[in-house]
Amino acid sequence: MSEGPRGHLVFACAGSLYAVPAERASEVVNLPALTRVPGAAPHLLGVFAHRGEVLPVIDLTRLIGKPVEERFKRVVVVRVARGAMAFTATRVIGVNPIPGALPRLGETGALAFMSGPATVPAGECAAIDPEGLLEYLSRGR
Amino acid sequence: MTLGQWLPNRARWLIIPSTLGNGLGALLAAQYVAATFTFPQGALGTFWILVAVIGTAGVGVAEALSARHLRTFRGLCAGSLPTSDENRLRALDEVRQFPEHIGRLGVRSWLGAVVALALSFWLVADAPASLVVRIVVMGALFGPMAAVVVGLLVGQRAHEAVERLAEGMSPEDIVSSLRVPRVSVRSRLVLFTLVMVALPSLVVIDVTRALGADTVETWLSAPEEGREAAVAAAQRLVVLKTGLLIAFATAMATLAAALGGSLVTGPLQRIADDASSLASGRLVRAQLIAGDGEVWLISNVFSRLEERLVSMVGRLASATRRLAKAASSLRRASEDSESGAADQAAALNQTSATTEELAQSARQIASSAGSVQELSRKTLEAADSGLASAEAFRAAIERMRQDNRSIAAAVDRLTGRVQQIGRIVDVINTVADRSDLLALSAELEGTRAGEVGRGFSLVASEMRRLAENVLESTAEVEELITEIRTATRQTSDATERARALTESSTALADEVARALTSVAQSARQTSDAVRTISLATQQQQTGTDQLAEAMADILGITQQSLATTRQLTAANERLQRLSSVLAEVVSRFQRQDA
Amino acid sequence: MPRGLVEGVVLCRVGEARLAVPCGEVDAIAPLDGPAWDVGLAFGSAAGAVEGKALQCFGQLLRVDSVDVLTTPELTVLPVPSLLTGVADGALTGFVELLGALWPLVSAGHLLEHLRRRAEA
């Protein structure tokens, strides 16, 4: 399957660039106060209520095993069919086109749901597969 | 033998030689008359009877009269009078004059008795006048002889009695209370010689004449043929009788001479003995030695001399002992004094050295005081200059504080402005952030709208870029603000520190000023004190120099004193030696009665 | 997502974390006395302070720092996001919005089970 470049929302998280498909990125909001969830994994920083919905916030640095103590300014809300989640972001770069066929960054774990590296004006970034990642994260329960 | 034991019957003892002597003399005279004279028939018996009667009476009268003269002595002998000094002196005077008295009395008695015998013989026996005359002449011849002999005999005893009575009494007292005897030895010797030479000669002449007459009578009365034999017989008788008379006279004269000599020489001998004792250093208690005439005077003088000598020697011995004692203690004192003087000299030497050191120290002090004064003057100058500097410093600090205050106020104002800017920047940031988010959302929306929303997305993207530019600018502004805040905070801290520093500096400057004032005051006081010390030290130096000189003088005097003390010690030693010699000399006079 | 209702909750604070337990599941609120399950373990935090309160649920004690009881009749329960379904051995049953904050609503029984398992692990 050959796909042309698609628009991705590129954001920086603790020095690394990530990208989510623009059509999955529903919103960028300032990081609100989070509520911690009992029994949750470490990368799940907490939840916050947004427009009558409870959104879990994922710390990508913790998710890929490189935890960084940084004050995140924004969260990128990603919505897929199964549900919604939010990624922490230091800075949101903007929408950039990223080629469709990119190699996966790993075989197992969360990296299996990231591909790249994709070159964007801000640098090289990892493209996240939101559906797969949500599926993966939900499986852990 | 005490006086009390000696006294009884001594009155009789004293008188008895007179009685016996006169009695014997009377008998001899009578015998002479009887032998040399041819008495008428029967007259011789009468003569003897008369001689016996008148002689006894004369002796009795003489005894009674002499007893009257010895009234006090007899009282003492009989024990009817106490043996007081007064009585003894009176008795002594009586006894002393007794021989002379009894001599005179004997002569008078003899004359009286002879006259009485002659008269009575003339009247009773009708004796021829020649016989009466002869009796008178013989009495006159024999009487003085008997009186002389009696006087000599009594004199012997009187001397013993006088010495007995004088025993234990001071010769001085005795002599001073008695009269000086009138009769001298010379007159006595003259009288003695007269009696003892002239009278025997007269007797011999008389006898010779009488015997010559007898011889002539014998020659004439004898027959022719027997004349020569009768004359020869008569011659033999004359020789016999004359020899007897001469023998008698010689015996009397010898006796008298012996007695008289012993009366004179006895006391002299005793004086000589006593003098010899004295000369040999034996001191006996002065004892009155009885004597007559000049001998009495000599004995008096000697006794007094002896007494005075004894007393003097006693005093001398006592004085010698005291002198020896004094000399000994003087020597000790002088030795002590010498030792003390030596010590004193040593101490003075030391003191003198110390005084010299003191003077040296005083000079050093004076010198040091000068240095200190100079130092204190410099200190004062430095302190004054320091005070001025401290004042200047304080003024500078004050200006700095005011500047600091201005800076602090400026910083405060700046901080206010920066805060305002910060707030404005926050507002801008918020707006830009929302603009960014809004633009992002718009871009996403535009992207989701596909080709239709491309232009919208571009605009949104530009808007985002603007917003981001604003955010970047505001970030820079924020950084600047942060820097300004840091700088102002640092400035504020610095001004605060400067304020604290100026505060402490002001305090320090005040303290320094106070300290310097105090130092200046102290330096002034020190200067004054040093000036006082300097003056006092100069004065002291003068005094110390004088003291040193005085000490030197004293030392000299002390050394002289030491020399003098040594001389004194030597003199004392000599004195002690002399005192020893004197004591030894005095010790030769050993008091026999002590 | 179906929205449930709950009648009265016990609001608990454990450190900086919050927790809401339906009143129906709490037998009693007692002073901390004797052995109790430390709710802090569920938040990955260390054992809490010795002081605290205890919720008696199903005969067992849950230790928390402080307790408030809210007896609001009908509280809207926000559903658990799909990503959190089954978390804490199914103890998380939803969220309630109270006092301007979001509170995780947990089932006491499941929480006890979860804590027991954590303790065992």
- Assigned token pair, B258: 């012996």
Establish if A60 belongs to a structural domain: yes
- CB spacing of B433 vs A25 below 8 angstroms: no
**What's the average model confidence in pLDDT over B329-333?**
73
Establish if A99 belongs to a structural domain: yes
CA distance B462 to chain A (A): 11
pLDDT, residue B508, reads 78
B448 in contact with chain A, both atoms CB, cutoff 8 A? yes
Residue type for position A71: R
Listed as own residue / partner, the contacts of B173-182 with beta carbons closer than 8 Å and 24 or more positions apart are B173/B85, B173/B89, B174/B89, B174/B92, B174/B288, B175/B288, B175/B300, B175/B303, B175/B304, B177/B89, B177/B93, B178/B89, B178/B92, B178/B93, B178/B96, B179/B93, B180/B297, B181/B96, B181/B97, B181/B100, B181/B292, B181/B293, B181/B296, B181/B297
Interface ipTM: 0.86
| Cβ-based burial of B420 (10 A; exposed 0-12, middle 13-18, buried ≥19) | exposed
Chain A residues near any Cβ of chain C (below 8 Å):
33, 35-40, 42, 44, 47-49, 52-56, 82-85, 134, 137-138, 141
Reference B106, options B156, B152, B73; nearest CA is: B152
Measure the CA–CA gap between A74 and B391, rounded to whole angstroms.
63
- Assigned token pair, B400: 């700095």
Q: Please tell me which residue, B438 or C48, carries the higher pLDDT value.
A: B438
Question: What are the domain boundaries of chain C?
Answer: 4-120
Indicate contact of C with B: 3+ CB pairs under 8 A: no
- Chain C residue with the nearest C-alpha to that of A57: C83
B460 in contact with chain A, both atoms CB, cutoff 8 A? no
Contact (Cβ atoms closer than 8 angstroms) between residue B345 and residue B558? yes
Contact (Cβ atoms closer than 8 angstroms) between residue B218 and residue B238? no
- Assigned token pair, B476: 């820079």
Q: Which of A9, A30, A74 sits opposite B444 (nearest CB)?
A: A9
Contact (Cβ atoms closer than 8 angstroms) between residue B26 and residue B146? yes
Q: How many domains does chain A have?
A: 1
What are the φ/ψ torsions at residue A36 (nearest 5 degrees)? -75, 150
Establish if A1 belongs to a structural domain: no
Provide the pairing of β-strand C66-70 with C9-14.
antiparallel
Contact (Cβ atoms closer than 8 angstroms) between residue B459 and residue B438? no
Chain A residues within 8 A of C43 when measuring between CB atoms: 36, 38
C neighbours by CB contacts (3+ pairs under 8 Å)? A
Percent of chain B having pLDDT more than 90? 0
Measure the CA–CA gap between A106 and B366, rounded to whole angstroms.
105
Residue B492 has pLDDT above 60, yes or no: yes
Residue C2 has pLDDT above 60, yes or no: no
Tokens 């070159």: give the residue: A119
Contact (Cβ atoms closer than 8 angstroms) between residue C51 and residue C82? no
Between the alpha carbon of residue C115 and those of residues A42, C41, C112, the distances in Å are: 17, 7, 5
Give the pLDDT band (50/70/90) at residue C46: low
Strand, helix or coil at B134?
helix
- Assigned token pair, B301: 């003088």
Give the pLDDT band (50/70/90) at residue B247: confident
Residue A127 has pLDDT above 80, yes or no: yes
- CB spacing of B447 vs A30 below 8 angstroms: no
Give the pLDDT band (50/70/90) at residue A88: very high
Q: What stretches of B70-128 show up as alpha helix (H) in DSSP? A: 71-78, 85-125
pLDDT, residue A128, reads 94
pLDDT, residue B16, reads 86
Residue A70 lies in domain: 6-139
Q: In what order do the strands lie in the sheet with C37-38?
A: C28-31, C53-57, C60-64, C37-38
Give the tens place of pLDDT for each residue, B15-68: 888 888 888 888 877 877 777 777 777 777 888 888 888 888 888 887 888 788
Q: Which of A33, A38, A85 sits opposite C104 (nearest CB)?
A: A38
> To the nearest whole number, what is the mean pLDDT of chain C?
84
Cis-peptide, bond into residue B200, ω within 30° of zero: no
pLDDT, residue B590, reads 62
Residue C90 has pLDDT above 80, yes or no: yes
A122 in contact with chain B, both atoms CB, cutoff 8 A? no
DSSP B311-359: HHHHHHHHHHHHHHHHHHHHHHHHHHHHHHHHHHHHHHHHHHHHHHHHH
Provide the pairing of β-strand A16-21 with A123-128.
parallel
Residue A57 has pLDDT above 90, yes or no: yes
In this structure, which topology does domain B321-591 adopt according to CATH?
Answer: Helix Hairpins (1.10.287)
Chain A residues within 8 A of B447 when measuring between CB atoms: 7, 22-23, 95
pLDDT, residue B557, reads 79
Q: Please tell me which residue, A50 or B362, carries the higher pLDDT value.
A: A50
Out of B199-213, B299-313, B487-501, B518-532, the most confident range is B487-501
CA distance A6 to chain B (A): 10
- Assigned token pair, B100: 């002379």
C12 in contact with chain A, both atoms CB, cutoff 8 A? no
Report how far Cα B31 is from the mean position of its chain's Cα atoms. Answer: 80
The terminus-to-terminus CA distance of chain C in angstroms comes to 33
B522 in contact with chain A, both atoms CB, cutoff 8 A? no
pLDDT, residue C3, reads 54
- CB spacing of B461 vs A9 below 8 angstroms: no
Chain C residues within 8 A of A56 when measuring between CB atoms: 81, 83-84
A31 in contact with chain B, both atoms CB, cutoff 8 A? no
- CB spacing of A29 vs B457 below 8 angstroms: no
Chain A residues within 8 A of B436 when measuring between CB atoms: 92
Contact (Cβ atoms closer than 8 angstroms) between residue B532 and residue B540? no
B478 in contact with chain A, both atoms CB, cutoff 8 A? no
CA distance A77 to chain C (A): 13
Helix (H) or strand (E) holding C19: strand C17-22
Q: Which of B433, B436, B444 sits opposite A95 (nearest CB)?
A: B444
Measure the CA–CA gap between A18 and A58, rounded to whole angstroms.
13
- Assigned token pair, C1: 């997502």
Q: Which of A54, A84, A141 sits opposite C95 (nearest CB)?
A: A54
Bridge partners of C69?
C10
- Assigned token pair, C97: 């919005």
A neighbours by CB contacts (3+ pairs under 8 Å)? B, C
Percent of chain A having pLDDT more than 70? 96
Give the pLDDT band (50/70/90) at residue C29: confident
Question: What are the domain boundaries of chain B?
Answer: 3-292, 321-591
Provide the pairing of β-strand C53-57 with A6-13.
unpaired
- CB spacing of C97 vs A134 below 8 angstroms: no
pLDDT, residue A55, reads 95
Residue B591 has pLDDT above 70, yes or no: no
Give the pLDDT band (50/70/90) at residue C48: low
**What's the average model confidence in pLDDT over B96-104?**
83
What are the φ/ψ torsions at residue B458 (nearest 5 degrees)? -65, -45
Reference B437, options B463, B473, B399, B476; nearest CA is: B463
Measure the CA–CA gap between C80 and A97, rounded to whole angstroms.
34
Instruction: Kindly provide the residue ranges of all beta strands, DSSP E only, lying in chain A, ordered along the sequence.
Output: 6-13, 16-21, 25-30, 44-50, 53-58, 74-79, 84-89, 91-98, 114-120, 123-128
Scan residues 26-65 of C and list those with Cβ closer than 8 Å to A.
39, 42-44
CA distance A50 to chain C (A): 11
Q: Which of B437, B457, B461 sits opposite A28 (nearest CB)?
A: B437
Interface test with B, best of A31, A75, A95 (most B CBs within 10 A): A95
Q: Please tell me which residue, B93 or B131, carries the higher pLDDT value.
A: B93
CA distance A89 to chain C (A): 19
**What's the average model confidence in pLDDT over B236-248?**
75
pLDDT, residue A1, reads 42
- Assigned token pair, C23: 């009143």
The CATH number assigned to the domain holding A43 equals 2.40.50.180
The terminus-to-terminus CA distance of chain A in angstroms comes to 32
Query: DSSP 3-state helix, strand, coil percentages of chain C (rounded to 5)?
Result: 25, 45, 35
A110-120 per-residue burial string, b: 16 or more CB within 10 A, e: under 16:
beebbbbbbeb
CA distance B440 to chain A (A): 7
Interface test with A, best of C83, C87, C97, C98 (most A CBs within 10 A): C83
Report how far Cα A92 is from the mean position of its chain's Cα atoms. Answer: 12
Q: Establish how many alpha carbons lie within 13 A of residue C18's alpha carbon, considering only the half-sphere containing its beta carbon.
A: 21
Give the tens place of pLDDT for each residue, B168-202: 787 777 877 777 766 677 777 787 777 777 777 77
Q: Look at B226-230, B294-298, B338-342, B562-566 and tell me which has the smallest mean pLDDT.
A: B338-342
Indicate contact of B with A: 3+ CB pairs under 8 A: yes
Residue B142 has pLDDT above 70, yes or no: yes
Chain B residues within 8 A of A7 when measuring between CB atoms: 447
Q: Which of A38, A42, A47 sits opposite C88 (nearest CB)?
A: A38
- Assigned token pair, B214: 């007898």
In this structure, which topology does domain C4-120 adopt according to CATH?
Answer: SH3 type barrels. (2.30.30)
List CB contacts of A33: < 8 A, sequence separation 6 or more: A48, C101
- CB spacing of C82 vs A138 below 8 angstroms: yes
Contact (Cβ atoms closer than 8 angstroms) between residue A111 and residue A136? no
> To the nearest whole number, what is the mean pLDDT of chain B?
79
**What's the average model confidence in pLDDT over B393-418?**
85
- CB spacing of A36 vs C43 below 8 angstroms: yes
Establish if A119 belongs to a structural domain: yes
B neighbours by CB contacts (3+ pairs under 8 Å)? A
Reference A95, options A24, A13, A19; nearest CA is: A19
Measure the CA–CA gap between B73 and B175, rounded to whole angstroms.
18
pLDDT, residue A9, reads 92
